[in-house]
């Protein structure tokens, strides 16, 4: 290889038509954070006329969520695995898949892997298990999202049902191992979130745990907010932060941990829907979730990750607020509100960073819509005298504006609500102006990030 003297290299660099500064991408994903979730959180946190930090972003777009089944046939409602795959790889796939293709089950290269290969630093920050679908789809490949560790890769049992295995991904089959093993073997500079249970078990065909495997690969494993705060800014330390066994506790919950409840019609109303009366759930406020105490916030984790990733060659960081979705599945609007607030705080941290490093593209988006609906506290039809109420489950939230906000969950009668299929918001900081059209498909989000990081400088 030709070696040039340092002086000449410097001269060549100075003569280059345009020196490209380090470019950074901070991708912030609110899991299930559709426009309704945003409105519910805004109403509760800052009032209907108030503004969240994300509301003030200067670039607004919307993303078409695309999903197929294993045969390539269109599906209209996504899950977090296939949507994270769309965003991470630019390829539409089927529900449950982690950066792998529908049908043929081939690995799909991710934006994070491309950034690593180009010498950029990379990071994953989430409030879920770091092995959960959204973070996993950026740094691992798997046919089924539940194959998170060396046990579940053989098929996980839930509610008495055995879910699919991913044995073709085991190392015994020549594969890369489970998701936690893939993350432990990855070159990602910083991985922060929950999910220690997936690292505390023996790795496949090994006496040592997956955590020890990660340490062998150069990861410093930490488990507390104090350790996170004390983390030295050292370019040689790679960090795996696991702050809870599974999903991290959320910030807010309903009073006394109440979820949505079923309206209780009187017996006369059971006889005929226009007769009798109904007892609606009592109004309530949100309260702090005790289990959250001592946890690092999403903003804390984002700040720590940015300290570690900031460098001359640029970085890619994915930050996810995961439990906007998980709490909506469980009909807990206070939980979703607190996690949306966490996302907004992480965005504040990202914006402060971009203030100093203007070549930082910040994107804020959701992966799919969710069940929660913002319904009238007093029905449009209350004046007709008949009791009018949700056939699903309802929360009546007292807000600081002195009003009551109705939140309805009624996509099914299972213990977990469904995702929904509407287009989702996509927002960007000023760096995204001209790069983000007013409507994109989710795979185009990948293209925008790729072109920004690796394309021509503008």
User: Within positions 92 to 151, which residues make up the interface with its own copies, using CB under 8 A?
Assistant: 95
Binders of its own copies among 370-399, rule CB under 8 A? 371, 373-381, 383-386, 388-392, 399
> Contacts with its own copies in 432-451 (CB under 8 A)?
438-439, 441
Q: How far is the CB of 254 from its own copies (least distance, A)?
A: 17
> d(Cα 58, Cα 56) in Å, to the nearest integer?
6
Total chain residues near its own copies (CB under 8 A):
78
Alpha carbons 269 and 439: distance in angstroms, whole number: 46
Residue in 418, 430, 447, 454 binding its own copies, rule: CB under 8 A: 418
Site string for its own copies, 148-177 (x = CB under 8 A): ----------xx-x-x--------------
- Contact predicate 267/276, CB 8 Å: yes
Give me the catalytic one of 61, 80, 186, 196: 80
Least distance (Å) between residue 325 CB and its own copies? 11
- Minimum distance from CB of 360 to its own copies (Å)? 19
Tokens at 93, concatenated: 């796939």
From the CB of 291, what's the least distance to its own copies, in Å?
25
Q: Which of residues 194-253 bind its own copies (CB under 8 A)?
A: none
Among 4, 11, 20, 73, binds its own copies (CB under 8 A): 73
CA distances from 209 to 180, 214, 215, 263, 300 (A): 11, 9, 10, 48, 27
- Exposure of 106 by Cβ count < 10 A (0-12 exposed, 13-18 middle, 19+ buried)? exposed
Q: For the CB of residue 321, give the shortest distance to its own copies in the complex, in Å.
A: 19
Site for its own copies in 261-320 (CB under 8 A): 273
- Phi, psi for residue 114 in degrees, rounded to 5: -65, -40
3-state secondary structure at position 348 = helix
Task: Establish whether 80 is a catalytic residue.
Answer: yes
State how far the Cα of 158 lies from the Cα of 311, in Å rounded to an integer. 44
- Give the residue carrying structure tokens 């594969």: 175
Q: What residues have CB less than 8 Å from 142, skipping those under 6 apart? A: 97, 98, 99, 100, 136, 166, 169, 178, 179, 182
Nearer to its own copies, 35 or 287 (CB): 35
419 binds its own copies (CB under 8 A): yes
């Amino acid at each position: 290889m030709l070696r040039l003297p340092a002086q000449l290299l410097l001269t060549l660099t100075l003569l280059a038509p345009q020196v490209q500064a380090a470019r950074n991408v901070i991708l912030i994903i609110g899991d299930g954070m559709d426009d309704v979730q945003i409105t519910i959180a805004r109403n509760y946190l800052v009032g209907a006329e108030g503004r969240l930090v994300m509301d003030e972003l200067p670039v607004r777009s919307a993303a078409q969520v695309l999903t197929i089944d294993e045969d390539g046939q269109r599906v209209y409602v996504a899950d977090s695995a296939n949507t994270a795959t769309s965003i991470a790889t630019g390829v539409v796939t089927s529900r449950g898949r982690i950066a792998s293709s529908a049908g043929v089950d081939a690995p799909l290269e991710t934006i994070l892997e491309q950034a690593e290969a180009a010498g950029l630093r990379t990071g994953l920050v989430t409030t879920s298990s770091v092995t959960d679908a959204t973070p996993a789809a950026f740094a691992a490949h798997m046919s089924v999202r539940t194959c998170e560790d060396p046990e579940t890769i053989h098929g996980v049992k839930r509610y008495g049902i055995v879910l699919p295995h991913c044995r073709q991904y085991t190392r015994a089959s020549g594969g890369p191992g489970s998701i936690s093993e893939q993350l432990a073997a990855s070159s990602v500079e910083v991985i922060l979130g929950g999910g220690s249970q997936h690292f505390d078990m023996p790795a496949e065909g090994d006496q040592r745990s997956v955590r020890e495997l990660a340490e062998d690969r150069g990861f410093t494993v930490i488990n507390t907010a104090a350790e996170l705060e004390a983390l030295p800014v050292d370019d040689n330390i790679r960090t795996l932060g696991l702050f809870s066994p599974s999903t991290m506790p959320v910030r807010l919950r309903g009073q006394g941990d109440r979820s949505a409840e079923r309206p209780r019609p009187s017996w006369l109303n059971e006889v005929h829907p226009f007769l009798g009366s109904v007892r609606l759930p009592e109004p309530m406020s949100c309260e702090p979730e005790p289990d959250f105490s001592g946890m690092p916030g999403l903003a804390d984790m984002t700040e720590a990750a940015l300290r570690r990733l900031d460098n001359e060659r640029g970085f890619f960081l994915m930050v996810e607020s995961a439990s906007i979705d998980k709490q909506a599945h469980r009909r807990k609007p206070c939980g979703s509100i607190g996690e949306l607030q966490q996302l907004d705080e992480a965005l504040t941290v990202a914006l402060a960073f971009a203030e100093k490093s203007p070549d930082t593209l910040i994107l804020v988006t959701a992966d799919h819509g969710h069940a929660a609906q913002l319904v009238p506290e007093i029905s449009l039809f209350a004046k007709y005298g008949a009791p009018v109420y949700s056939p699903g489950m309802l929360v009546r939230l007292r807000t600081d504006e002195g009003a009551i906000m109705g939140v309805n969950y009624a996509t099914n009668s299972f213990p977990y609500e469904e995702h929904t299929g509407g287009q989702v918001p996509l927002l960007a900081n000023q760096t995204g102006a001209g790069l983000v059209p007013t409507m994109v498909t989710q795979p185009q989000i990948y293209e925008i990030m790729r072109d920004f990081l690796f394309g021509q400088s503008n």
